[in-house]
């Protein structure tokens, strides 16, 4: 009890004596672990490279500036590929995510003990593996190129979209669904009139949000050979063509800024 009686006064403290002792112990242990880790990390760091870092960084900076502007002519196609990977990947993901979300949501799943766990498993498993790793796997299966990138992005996005969508489905207002049921509507009509209008804003928000993330993810897919601007980036890095690298980074930055702007506009318009 944090209150105790001292004569007529009732004293109140946030924690009892035991609690505050325990609290101090936790802090002590935390600080000890931090100090130990600090020591370990500095022991295994080659400090020469660290002290050298500013000089190397300036060196790369001088080599990378100014960017090689004329190289932009060769970047049009890869940027277009990147955009397509992100967009097509998002569309495929949404097509697959919608039914999975309906199967996973507690209030719409046809079977709570068999189908729902399967849907949840699909969501977790597709979400848990990074798109770069999916791309590596898919390149081995269907060969390098844009298509592998599209599929990698699509698979990675299914879980994300389905999870957010099924949470939206579980949060709908049931009375609206009840009202549609009471008119004698069929199962599919109840879905189209009672549920879909309620989750439309969430769906649109999820779609543009994921598209925005996928633009960023698809820029690196080329590093493993799955098409897009990452391919140019890894080629330039391999030959130490720093002015090209800096131009590519600028282009990626621009693409991401534009995609953020577009998704913010779309979300604003829908919600």
Partner 1 sequence: MLRLEKLVKTYKTGDQALKAVDLDIPEGQVLALIGPSGAGKSTLIRCINRLVEPTSGKVYLGDVELTGLSTGALRRERRRMGMIFQEYALVERLSVMENVLSGRLGYVGFWRSFLRRFPQSDVDEAFRLLDRVGLAHMADKRADELSGGQRQRVGICRALIQNPAVLLVDEPTASLDPKTSRQIMRLICELCKERGLAAIINIHDVALAQMFVQRVIGLRFGAVEFDGPPEGLTPDVLTTIYGEEDWEATIEAVDDDDDNDLEVAAL
Instruction: Give strand ranges (E) for the chain.
Output: 3-6, 9-12
Total binding residues toward partner 1, as defined by CB under 8 A: 21
Task: Choose one: 34-42, 194-202, 226-234, 247-255; the region binding partner 1 (CB under 8 A).
Answer: 194-202
Terminal Cα-to-Cα distance of the chain (whole angstroms):
49
182 makes contact with partner 1 (CB under 8 A): yes
Cα separation of 97 and 93, whole Å? 6
Supply the minimum distance, in Å, between the C-beta of residue 175 and partner 1. Answer: 4
Residue number, 202 or 255, with CB nearest to partner 1: 202
What's the CA angle centered on 131, arms 125 and 136, to 5 degrees? 105
Site string for partner 1, 142-181 (x = CB under 8 A): -------------------------------x-xx-xxxx
> For 226, how many CA atoms within 13 A lie in the half-sphere containing its CB?
30
Supply the minimum distance, in Å, between the C-beta of residue 4 and partner 1. Answer: 42
Supply the minimum distance, in Å, between the C-beta of residue 191 and partner 1. Answer: 10
Q: Which two tokens stand for residue 238?
A: 């391999």
Using alpha carbons, list the distances in angstroms from residue 241 to 1, 179, 235, 238, 252.
68, 65, 9, 8, 17
237 makes contact with partner 1 (CB under 8 A): no
Q: Is 255 left (phi over 0), alpha (psi -120 to 50) or beta?
A: alpha
Cα separation of 103 and 97, whole Å? 10
Query: Which of 197, 253, 257, 261 is in the footprint of partner 1 by CB under 8 A?
Result: 197
20 makes contact with partner 1 (CB under 8 A): no
Query: Which of 192, 254, 257, 258 is in the footprint of partner 1 by CB under 8 A?
Result: 192
235 makes contact with partner 1 (CB under 8 A): no
- Where do contacts with partner 1 occur on this chain (CB under 8 A)? 173, 175-176, 178-186, 188-189, 192-194, 197-198, 200-201
């Amino acid at each position: 009890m944090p209150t105790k009686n001292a004569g007529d006064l009732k004293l109140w403290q946030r924690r009892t004596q035991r609690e505050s002792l325990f609290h101090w112990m936790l802090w002590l242990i935390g600080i000890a672990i931090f100090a130990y880790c600090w020591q370990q990390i500095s022991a295994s760091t080659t400090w020469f490279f660290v002290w050298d870092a500013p000089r190397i960084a300036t060196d790369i900076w001088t080599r990378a500036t100014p960017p090689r502007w004329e190289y932009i002519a060769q970047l049009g196609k890869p940027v277009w590929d990147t955009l397509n990977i992100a967009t097509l990947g998002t569309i495929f993901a949404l097509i697959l995510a919608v039914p999975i979300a309906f199967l996973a949501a507690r209030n719409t799943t046809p079977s709570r003990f068999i189908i729902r766990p399967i849907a949840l498993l699909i969501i977790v498993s597709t979400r848990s593996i990074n798109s770069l790793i999916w791309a590596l796997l898919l390149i081995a299966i269907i060969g390098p190129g844009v298509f592998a990138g599209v599929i990698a992005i699509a698979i990675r996005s299914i879980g994300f979209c389905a999870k957010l969508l099924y949470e939206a489905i579980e949060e709908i207002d049931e009375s609206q669904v009840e009202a549609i049921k009471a008119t004698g509507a069929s199962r599919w009509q109840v879905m189209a009139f009672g549920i879909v209008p309620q989750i439309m804003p969430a769906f649109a928000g999820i779609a543009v949000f994921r598209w925005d993330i996928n633009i960023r993810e698809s820029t690196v897919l080329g590093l493993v050979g799955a098409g897009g601007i990452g391919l140019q980036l890894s080629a330039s890095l391999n030959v130490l063509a720093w002015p090209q690298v800096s131009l590519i980074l600028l282009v990626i930055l621009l693409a991401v800024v534009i995609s953020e702007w577009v998704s913010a506009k779309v979300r604003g318009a829908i919600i």
